[in-house]
């Protein structure tokens, strides 16, 4: 290559890996992503660092844990009128756009932001096209902030952002400037009110008679009901019980969800076709992933990691798709079983772009050795770590261990699953004396990881506070006192 590689990071919103054809789903229609998987490197054990979209986006852009950057929950844009002017949750952090811009890259965000005020660019972005809502309320009829212009966009948001992404790629190719395009689609999402809207897209008819056997049907779990009751008690907003509790058995919702995944697949296909048309596919690393998983009925609930009480990171809410491809760089058709994190995207992009690390103490690990089939001797433990406020998780190829934070008023139990023999994570072995040694070893590894990387001011388990919002405010107030409050930035 004669110049630095272009980087395209395509993000979806709320999507477990099992919803793609290349991850074994026989009911979904994702031909472009399936073809990308066949050409590139697919990670079968990729996991999100948190079960909410804002923390995961922050982690991908910084390479940090929530207990480092401080974003532990979704940024609550219902309160945006109270936010500081031009507030962005990652102000002051070294982010992918800032690091790449310093190396001569043109940088763009085209899609959903959900890390602060959408009206003006976050640090490091030259090009800024986003929608008003972080909590997606519709796939249509969105207010757009487009490099200083504000207008209503009536069409499907995936098509709109795809076309804007294509235009950015064309502009930068003409100028011969290396570029970083961050393209976070606001789909398939999976939450109200978007999931219940009746607008039809071009894939609606394709799923009209789909039996949706790939979505598990099961009774509600107690943890799901407890989570719903907790949210209901802590908000004045009406929560639709029928959606949150019955979605796994609501065929219209399920089929709409799948149709949005196919809309995303179309967008990915158009981006790939653009690279081929412009003759820059060999110069461009394309990464497809998502913010976090989404349980679509597994374990008796629909939603993210905090949809239950206590919060969880079962595989459905924890597993994410991750596919990377660049002609002549990535190993064709490789499927990696390595335990990897969404945080690892940060170090991978910077290494590939030739950007040296300027910040120490990051858990992000570069995946370039995997992509190129090189030596993995420096990778370290084959484990991945995540946190969801009162739940911390370590996963290995054999085990998943959930460690819980308790106050004097709670009695949350730890959980240990043999994921090799219990793929559905149904049998908790944490209290079985036969597995005490394994549990203690995983507990020690998990504790050591957070001791190494967490920062006290952002570590909820040590009395730290989150940026802007918490889903467990009462729990943390009980633990640390009534003065405990989320903040907008750390002093």
State whether 45 and 187 are in the same domain. Answer: yes
The total of structural domains in the chain comes to: 2
Please check whether residues 352 and 399 belong to one and the same domain.
no
Cα dihedral sign, 209-215-219-221:
negative
**389 and 365 share a domain?**
no
Distance of alpha carbon 95 from alpha carbon 116, whole angstroms: 15
Residue 489 within a domain: no
Would residue 377 count as lying in a domain? Answer: no
Residue 164 maps to a domain: yes
Report residue 291 as tokens: 């913010």
Whether 131 and 237 map to the same domain: the answer is yes
**Residue 184 within a domain:** yes
Nearest to 296 by CA among 352, 242, 254: 254
487 belongs to a structural domain: no
Q: How far apart are CA 261 and CA 156, in angstroms?
A: 13
Q: How far apart are CA 151 and CA 145, in angstroms?
A: 7
Claim to verify: residue 412 and residue 345 sit in the same structural domain: no
Output the 3-class SS for the chain: CCCCCEEEEEEEECCCHHHCHHHCCCCCCCHHHHHHHHHCEEECCEECCCCCHHHHHHHHHHCCCHHHHCCCCCCCHHHHHHCCCCCECCCCCCCHHHHHHCCCCEEEEEECCCCECCCCCCCCCCEEEEECCCCCCCCCCEEEEECCEEEEECCCHHHHHHHHHHHHHHHHHHHCCCEEEEEEEEEECCCCCHHHCCCCCCCCHHHCCCCCCCCCCCCCCHHHHHHHHHHHHCCCCCCCHHHHHHHHHCHHHHHHHHHHHHHHHHHHHHHHHHHHHHCCHHHEEEEEEECCCCEECHHHCEECHHHCCCCCCCHHHHECCEEEECCCCCCCCEEECCCEECCHHHHHHHHHCCCCCCCCCCCCCCCHHHHCCCCCCCCCCCCEEEEECCEEEEECCCEEEEEECCCCCCCCCCEEEECCCCCCCCCCCCCCHHHHHHHHHHHHHHHHHHHHHCCHHHCHHHCCCCECCCCCHHHHHHHHCCCCCCECCCC
* pTM of structure: 0.95
The domain boundary, picked from 326, 348, 371, lies at 371
Say whether both 415 and 321 belong to one domain.
no
Closest CA to 389 of 412, 364, 365: 412
239 contacts 178 by C-beta, under 8 angstroms: no
In a shared domain, residues 389 and 366: no
Task: Looking at the structure, tell me whether residues 348 and 392 fall in a common domain.
Answer: no
- CA dist 450 and 459 (Å) reads 9
CB 68 within 8 A of CB 58: no
Residue 461 lies in a domain: yes
Do strands 295-296 and 302-303 pair parallel, antiparallel, or not at all (unpaired)?
Answer: antiparallel
CATH code at position 429: 3.30.1120.10
- C-alpha 146/C-alpha 33 separation (Å) is 28
Give a yes or no: residue 51 inside a domain. yes
Distance CA 356, CA 359 (A): 9
Q: Where among 336, 371, 406 does a domain terminate?
A: 371
| pLDDT, averaged across the chain | 92
Whether residue 311 contacts residue 352, with contact meaning beta carbons closer than 8 Å, is answered with no
pLDDT at position 399, please? 98
Q: Is residue 491 part of a domain?
A: no
Amino acid 1: pLDDT: 43
Closest C-alpha among 164, 139, 360, 416 to residue 262: 139
| Of the candidates 279, 335, 218, the residue with the CA atom closest to the CA atom of residue 2 | 279
Last residue of a domain, one of 371, 397, 426: 371
Q: Which domain holds residue 322?
A: 6-371
Any bridge partners for residue 302, and if so which?
296
Distance from C-alpha of 278 to C-alpha of 197, rounded to nearest angstrom: 37
Q: Environment class of residue 364 by beta-carbon count within 10 Å: exposed (0-12), middle (13-18) or buried (19+)? A: buried
User: Are 263 and 399 in a shared domain?
Assistant: no
Q: Say yes or no: 367 and 389 in one domain.
A: no
242: CATH = 3.40.720.10
Residues of the chain with pLDDT under 70: 1-2, 227-229, 231-249, 357-358
| 304 and 391 housed in the same domain | no
Of the candidates 59, 99, 30, the one whose C-alpha atom is nearest the C-alpha of residue 349 is 99
Q: Please name every residue paired with 289 in a beta bridge, in sequence order, or none if there are none.
A: 11, 322
Q: Give how far Cα 386 sits from Cα of 133, 311, 318, 363, Å.
A: 26, 12, 9, 11
- Give the C-alpha separation, 225 to 223, whole Å: 6
Q: What is the pLDDT of residues 245-289, one digit of tens each?
A: 565 567 888 899 999 999 999 999 999 999 999 999 999 999 999
> Are 358 and 397 in a shared domain?
no
């Amino acid at each position: 290559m004669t110049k630095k590689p272009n980087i395209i990071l395509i993000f979806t919103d709320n999507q477990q890996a099992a919803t793609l054809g290349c991850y074994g789903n026989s009911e979904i229609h994702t031909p472009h992503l399936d073809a990308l998987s066949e050409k590139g490197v697919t990670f079968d054990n990729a996991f999100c660092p948190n079960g909410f979209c804002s923390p995961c986006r922050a982690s991908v852009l910084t390479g940090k844990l929530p207990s480092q950057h401080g974003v532990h929950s979704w940024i609550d844009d219902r309160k945006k009128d109270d936010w500081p002017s031009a507030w962005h949750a990652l102000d002051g952090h070294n982010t992918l756009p800032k690091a790449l811009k310093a190396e001569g890259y043109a940088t763009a965000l085209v899609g959903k932001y959900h890390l602060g005020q959408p009206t003006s660019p976050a640090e490091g972005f030259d090009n800024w096209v986003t929608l008003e809502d972080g909590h997606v309320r519709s796939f249509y009829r969105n207010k757009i902030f487009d490099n200083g212009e504000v207008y209503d966009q009536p069409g499907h948001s995936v098509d709109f952002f795809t076309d804007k992404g294509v235009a950015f790629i064309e502009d930068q190719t003409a100028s011969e400037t290396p570029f970083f395009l961050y393209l976070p689609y606001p789909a398939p999402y999976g939450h109200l009110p978007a999931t219940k809207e009746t607008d039809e897209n071009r894939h609606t008819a394709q799923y009209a008679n789909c039996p949706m056997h790939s979505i598990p049907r099961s009774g509600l779990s107690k943890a799901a009901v407890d989570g719903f009751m907790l949210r209901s008690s802590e908000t004045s907003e009406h929560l639709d019980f029928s959606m949150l509790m019955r979605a796994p058995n609501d065929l219209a919702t399920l089929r709409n969800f799948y149709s949005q995944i196919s809309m995303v697949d179309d967008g990915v296909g158009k981006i790939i076709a653009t690279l081929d048309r412009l003759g820059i596919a060999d110069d461009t690393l394309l990464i497809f992933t998502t913010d976090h998983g989404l349980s679509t009925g597994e374990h008796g609930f629909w939603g993210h990691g905090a949809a239950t009480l206590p919060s969880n990171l079962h595989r459905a809410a924890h597993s994410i798709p991750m596919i990377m491809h660049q002609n002549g760089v990535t190993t064709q058709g490789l499927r990696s079983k390595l335990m990897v994190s969404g945080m690892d995207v940060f170090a991978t992009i910077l290494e590939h772009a030739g950007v040296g690390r300027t910040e120490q103490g990051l858990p992000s690990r570069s995946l370039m050795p995997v992509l190129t089939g090189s030596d993995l001797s420096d990778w370290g433990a084959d484990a991945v770590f995540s946190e969801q406020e009162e739940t911390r998780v370590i996963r290995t190829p054999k085990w998943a261990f959930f460690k819980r934070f308790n106050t004097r008023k709670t009695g949350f139990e730890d959980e240990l699953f043999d994921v090799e023999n219990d793929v559905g994570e149904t049998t908790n072995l944490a209290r079985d004396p036969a597995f005490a040694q394994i549990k203690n070893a995983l507990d020690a590894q998990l504790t050591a990881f957070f001791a190494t990387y967490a920062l006290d001011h952002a570590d909820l388990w040590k009395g730290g506070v989150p940026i802007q919002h918490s889903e467990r405010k009462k729990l943390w107030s009980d633990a640390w006192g009534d003065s405990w409050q989320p903040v907008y930035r750390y002093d």
